[in-house]
Amino acid sequence: MLVLRSTRDLLSWRGSLPRGTEIGFVPTMGALHAGHSSLLSQARAQNDIVVLSIFVNPTQFNQAADFEKYPQTWESDLKVAEAAGVDVVFSPSITTELYPEGYRFEVREKEFSKSLCGAFRPGHFEGVLTVVMKLLNLVQADQAYFGEKDYQQFSLIRDMARDFFIATKIIPCETIREKNGLALSSRNMRLSPEGREKASALYRNLISAISVSDGIRDLQRLGFEVEYFEEKQGRRFVAAWIEGVRLIDNVVAPVFVEKSHETQGEVTL
């Protein structure tokens, strides 16, 4: 497994590949878990070469404290990458490898990025889209893989790639969950065992709450500070805080059916 620490080395390696080599790319911020492994496994199955990037991107954190708390687990990340059959790890040694001009230029989306997470994290998606465009341009992969747990992020990256005519195909991958339903996330490391169990209520409410207002009320009763619980684009999204940790999740919007006493038919709510 090759570890590259500069954009120069990455570009040199990329230029050495035979024409027609299929490349799968998984961009991450490290702290790898089984969810990342699933992305890498799909990339491994569908490509000749698998590239993993590990870079904690400072421009997508709207709170400096959150950036400083982000877990960095380099040695275990390399073990996960090796076990998944990664060929190349690109992990810039300094921030200026990806931001040689500082944060002078950014990519901005003016619609969907302003809702959900974007409404509560100003500048977040500008940072995400900017760094992902840089990485896509550097790696020039045939496919790049993103988890559906961050569905808003996946949707924005997919649309950005299409709108800017980037050749890389953006592939969605199913959310991987713990046995209790909690979506795997690097942030879960900061929860106590009790907090992890309580956090499973996010998923249960997403799939079972009859209405958005019911979902919000039920989570608040359990002690969550709810940022949003909304339905958009045929999906149901939630972001909430527990034990000082912000968690997000989403599912395809459920359809509930009940009997109408007047018509004895089925009414979709």
- Which residues are identified as catalytic? 36
Report residue 39: phi and psi, to 5°: -65, -45
Find out whether 109 and 129 touch, Cβ atoms under 8 Å.
yes
Cα distance between residue 122 and residue 62, in whole Å? 6
Closest by CA to 109, choosing from 66, 54, 162, is: 162
Cα distance between residue 98 and residue 254, in whole Å? 41
Closest by CA to 53, choosing from 16, 100, 4, 121, is: 4
Q: Which residues share a beta bridge with 89? A: 3, 52
Closest by CA to 134, choosing from 182, 174, 110, 166, is: 166
Closest by CA to 84, choosing from 56, 55, 52, is: 52
Tell how far CA 56 is from the center of its chain: 13
Q: Which residues share a beta bridge with 144? A: 25, 170
Closest by CA to 175, choosing from 149, 197, 137, is: 149
